[in-house]
Amino acid sequence: MVYNEYKNPLTERYCCKEMNYIFSPEKKFTTWRKLWVALAEAEKELGLPITDEQIEEMKQNINNIDFEYAKEMEKKFRHDVMAHVHTFGKVAPKAMPIIHLGATSAYVGDNADLIIMKEALLHIRKKMVNLLNNLKNFALKYKDLPTLGFTHFQPAQLTTVGKRAALWLQDFVMDFEELEYVLDNLRFRGVKGTTGTQASFMKLFNNDSEKVKKLDLLVSKKMGFDKVLKITGQTYTRKQDTKVLTVLAKIAESAHKMATDIRLLQNLKEVEEPFEKTQIGSSAMAYKRNPMRSERVCSLSRYVISLVFNPFMTQATQWFERTLDDSANRRISIPESFMGVDSILNLLINITDGMVVYEKMIEKHINDELPFMATENIIMEAVKKGGNRQEMHEIIRVHSMEAGKRVKMEGKQNDLLERLANDDRVPLSMEEIKSLLNPRDFVGRAPEQVEEFIKEEVQPIIEKYSNDLGVDVEIKV
């Protein structure tokens, strides 16, 4: 471990090994070599004089990368692609004459970026399936448990713990649908040449336009893409980066909202994220149980959301067929967006796998507020017993104001029910009044809404990707 150099916290502390590898130099440059193999294979299949021996030599050395030699070559040429052409040619000398034949740098650079982003999106999808499943289980478990709803963070009509979780779940389902769309519509750059005209390949194939078209599609299929951009400049349109980073930012947006709710609920002592046996909440206040995972989710989410502006500005400022001012920005903003979302999903999977619900505290908060919320029901029942609606409304209004004053100014219990039961003008006994205060009578269709939503929109996703369930996440710190 080197302690005198900056290390990116996303790679050191937060994201998983798999996502780290996806954006590693080894993954990048082995992908370049696979692209060179695919190009050579396709060119041979379409009639160019490339031998099986050359292709086999390339295949045998895909993972045989001398990174130190590549550094020397890049320092010499000031060109990363040519440095790696020579590094590959060093271990595949018979293939050296045909490596990168007819291609421009963007052939390996752009296509590798698309391959890597697609793999990273699939990794994110797998994590999301596990988060959706955890939230589904939590929502179903607590679909019937009444809890105070909040609007403006003020007590409002009751909902259920499960229904609130379903709100988080719905946001992530919407993000998942967009993720699926982006994956299904990510287009390969393909084989397009220096400015996207395929002029170099037309020369290679003696102006046989059909062969050049086939070459483009053949290489794309070999690299796992059914859809190919028909038109490019030197690079693929950076609007594709915008689509990808936007869906990642939307996942972060949903995560921030959910984690914020959990932080507020933990303050209310109603719901709590997992707290490990030896975990310390505060170096000074030994009793504290801070929602550190949820706080970290919010912190990382803000960062991911901030990164989404990069592809918008990059695409907006690309001149004509390309400029190189996109390169340094994309090397940072794309990997860090993926690593940030991976870190966020790891945390949320961990949280939802062990989230604690304190039912008695939830019940206490309901009992503090329910008498006020039940006043309309009390009025209706009093009218049934012979009371005058307007008179009952005024009586209850006055008692409510006094009970509220007692709670807020004197710090005492809400005694509205006792006041009403002891008022001879109200034709209801305490038992009759309390019978109107069953919390389950105030949650409407919340339980059914949870069941219907999960059955119709969530379960089909879980079933479709059931093989992705069961990921192990590690929270490093």
C-alpha dihedral, 224 to 17 to 180 to 253, nearest 10°: -150
Residue recorded with tokens 């471990």: 1
Name residue 218's amino acid. L
Using alpha carbons only, what angle is made at residue 314 by residues 311 and 315, rounded to the nearest 5 degrees?
85
DSSP string, 60-119: HTTT---HHHHHHHHHHHS-HHHHHHHHHHHH-TTTGGGTTTT--HHHHHHHHHHHHHHH
What is the pairing mode between strands 146-151 and 154-160? antiparallel
- Neighbour tally for 245: CB within 10 Å: 28
| Helical (H) or strand (E) element with 260 | helix 239-267
Rounded Cα–Cα distance for residues 476 and 55 (Å): 43
Residue 132's closest CA among 159, 178, 170? 170
Is-catalytic flag, 282?
Answer: yes
Q: Are 471 and 349 a contacting pair, CB within 8 Å? A: yes
Tokens 């698309």 correspond to what residue? 114
Q: Which of 79, 86, 100, 152 is catalytic?
A: 152
Q: How far apart are CA 424 and CA 53, in angstroms?
A: 102
In degrees to the nearest 10, what's the CA dihedral of 10, 13, 19, 20? 80
Give CA–CA dist 421/268, Å, rounded: 30
- Pick the catalytic residue from 79, 209, 282, 435: 282
Q: CA 336, CA 330: separation in Å to the nearest integer?
A: 10
Spatial distance between the Cα atoms of 114 and 242, rounded to a whole number of angstroms: 13
152 is catalytic: yes
Residues in contact with 263: Cβ distance below 8 Å, sequence separation at least 6, in sequence order: 291, 294, 295, 298
Q: CA 228, CA 240: separation in Å to the nearest integer?
A: 12
What positions carry a catalytic annotation? 152, 282
